[in-house]
Structure 1
Amino acid sequence: MDKLPMVYAREGSTEFNAFIEKTLGALAEEVRQAMISTFVALVLGGGYGRGDGACVLREGNESLYNDFDLFLVVTKPMEVPLQVLEVTKKYEHMLNIEVDIGKPLTINDIKHLPRQLMYQDLLQAHVVLLGDQKVLTANAPSYLLEPLPQVDALRLLLNRGSGLLQAMLEARALVLDPSHQMPDPDFIRRNREKCTLSFGDSLLIQAESYTPSLLERQKRVKSLKKEKNLENLDELKSLYEEAVTFKLRPDSLPLCQNELDDLLYIADYWVSVLLFVESKRTGKSWASVSTYANDDFIRESEQHTKKKLLRNVVKNLKRGKFSLRYPREQLYRQLASLLGNVQVSDPDWNREAKDFLSLWQLYN
């Protein structure tokens, strides 16, 4: 009896998952051949690495939708070799998705991975495509198995709220010019659903109940109880359910892009979740989102230790300003202000939104 393939896309057929497995195996072998002497392992993370990758029908055929998120483990510090980039570009062209490889990791890098959502997800749910099968589990720090720090809810909301802001700018551009070309045809809808997924995930992080498994998170969000200052929990749960459906099978929902009015409605929910999780994390309270945006308390204390203050000064000087604060501190306050008072027809709001996104690209 033939061995069943691993599950990369929960909603895909056995044949589709077998296709993914075969494709990834071939890709991994080509990466190894491109760098034989320094190769340790190639690891798949992201949705497909967790078994929660999307499957869509295109012209009646099951197709990939998400990126391949790859992590290359090497014997010494280096940038991604050009030969490896040639391999990823080849597969991007073949598969019509992005194939991402970040800066290669050494074993020492793995031993000192920061306590962040991305690395907890990677450690607890990944596939080693080729090489040492225990390269992560044997070397990653044990704190990546502990509950996430609550500040990760804030970081996640910054990330997904920034995507919502970009979707708003694209929706506005379409209103002004129906022939406007978006970064990709599904850009607005995808960023809207990723943002709504972050609402439930942020609540789970705050409650120290987050897990990499999408279906387990779905169960845990359903079981959340209403609390003071979170009266819209039922609506948040409904949005989360829709986002889970989209993540697994994007074409099961209407294919039309969300209009600006809908995105404004989502921004209101973003604000409510932000104020709730930040209030629970800090013990502070704010009368409005503008009050939160104007509060200059430090959001990420770990970025402001004595050892990191000089780094912060250097990064700010490169931006033409003097500050001891890590630049991402500005982003938290600025995004709260932008999404708390959306004025897409105002040139000043649009200018600030674009300036924000430029800085976010550097410090996300």
Structure 2
Amino acid sequence: MSKVLNFNAGPAALPRSVLEQAQAELVDFNGTGMSVMELSHRSGAYDEVHVQAKEQLKSIMNIPDTHDVLFLQGGASHQFAMLPMNFLHSNKVGYYVLSGSWSEKALSEAEKIGDTKVVASSKEDTYSHIPKELALDSLPNAAYLHLTSNNTIFGTQWGNFPDVNVPLVADMSSDILSKEIDVSKFDCIYAGAQKNLGPSGVTVVIIRKDWIKEANKAIPKILQYETHAKANSLYNTPPTFSIYILSLVLNWVEAQGGIGAVQRMNEQKANLLYDCIDSSEGFYKGHASKESRSNMNVTFTLPNKELTEKFLKEAKELGMSGLNGHRSVGGCRASIYNAVPLEACEQLVEFMKIFKGKN
């Protein structure tokens, strides 16, 4: 069976070579006679995987020694609550930038825990752009400023991150590892792995070590970042197989030439699709404003519902999976994460041009 062209928003495409290596090692990892899924998380064989994944991520993303890397569970949705539980103390305010559905959900969880304030929002414009006016001159009693770096549903992405003198936190679930960033600007970055890092099941948290010391100690131990930092993410049984696949993905990134090379390829893929949309004489219309377009999720609409359904049906018949837009936006969405090859984007563009010509 030939592999489909996977444009799903998440869980998303994994590199073919990663899947093939995992397949080859599935029942006998490194001569242990056991699958990684069967190894004790306290064993030397698994510990090597765990340590290598952590060190590789630090190297590839140039994570400074001031920050720790944690492998947790529960996805970004768990972090929506865990973050304020640790840092939104009674005399503090959690500041949020609303740029899409996931930032709304993060705010909703924080509101249950402490004082919050929205400093900027593009909701009134159907989240078609990253908020332009940020009220960041004064953030009194700030626990942190929270933003979502890429918005999968609406197809928008931060180009430049704000400079602030309060702890800066970012949910980078859908664009972590897709481009070079200055990790030192952030006190905490968290990301569900299932877009660019690996499969669902593991959540990466990159957090400033000295900030962890300021966290609330009155919450359950399992919910404290300090607990997991002290135990090297081995306080309880981690998602071992997901971390193993993450380590293979990091090997793949290095084989591509590192994060800079991956970024250039992502820009090339996105430009192909946006050029097709922009040159279609209005047949395809992008949802996101040009200055806020995402290189990960390309959202667009067709002239009417009937043509959209026809487009999706014909695309599926050609082996293109996951092009349906989110129900809150409609239309179409091509998620072109790291592992989606350039050839897949080229085939999609060719189909879009042919479909326009026929319709």
**TM-score with structure 1 setting the length:** 0.24
Instruction: Name the structure where helix makes up a greater proportion of residues.
Output: 1
Instruction: Name the structure where strand makes up a greater proportion of residues.
Output: 2
| Bigger relative contact order (CA 8 A; separation at least 6) | 2
